[in-house]
């Protein structure tokens, strides 16, 4: 009998490990929280950086990208 996997059409779906998915959803939540604020202070950025295991600078980069997509600008 043929391998069943060959009979399933590719729908372009990707999967991720549980850790990768958790990290991605945590980053998305962090970005929403930070970009809902008109100004992101160091304390808020440091807490997000610590939670995600990235630098404060990277938090600002990510938040700026999301804010630019949402509003067209970002202030620090």
Percent of the chain residues past pLDDT 90, beyond the cut: 8
Residue 27 resides in a domain = yes
Query: How would residue 42 be classed by pLDDT, with cut points 50, 70 and 90?
Result: very high
- Rounded Cα distance between 4 and 37, Å, is 50
Number of domains making up the chain: 1
C-beta contacts of 52-56 below 8 A and 24+ residues apart: 52/23, 52/26, 52/27
Which has the higher per-residue pLDDT, 44 or 12?
Answer: 44
**pLDDT for position 25:** 85
pLDDT tens-digit readout, 48-59: 888 888 899 988
- Rounded Cα distance between 39 and 63, Å, is 11
Residue 46 resides in a domain = yes
Residue 8 resides in a domain = no
Residue 2 resides in a domain = no
Contact 45, 60 (CB under 8 A): yes
Which has the higher per-residue pLDDT, 17 or 1?
Answer: 17
Residue 23 resides in a domain = yes
**pLDDT for position 10:** 59
**Parent domain of 52:** 19-71
């Amino acid at each position: 009998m043929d391998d069943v996997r060959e009979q399933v059409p590719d729908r372009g779906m990707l999967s991720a490990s549980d850790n990768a998915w958790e990290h991605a959803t945590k980053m998305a939540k962090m970005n929403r929280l930070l970009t809902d604020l008109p100004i992101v202070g160091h304390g808020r950025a440091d807490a997000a950086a610590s939670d995600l295991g990235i630098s404060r600078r990277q938090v600002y980069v990510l938040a700026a990208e999301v804010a630019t997509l949402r509003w067209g600008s970002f202030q620090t």
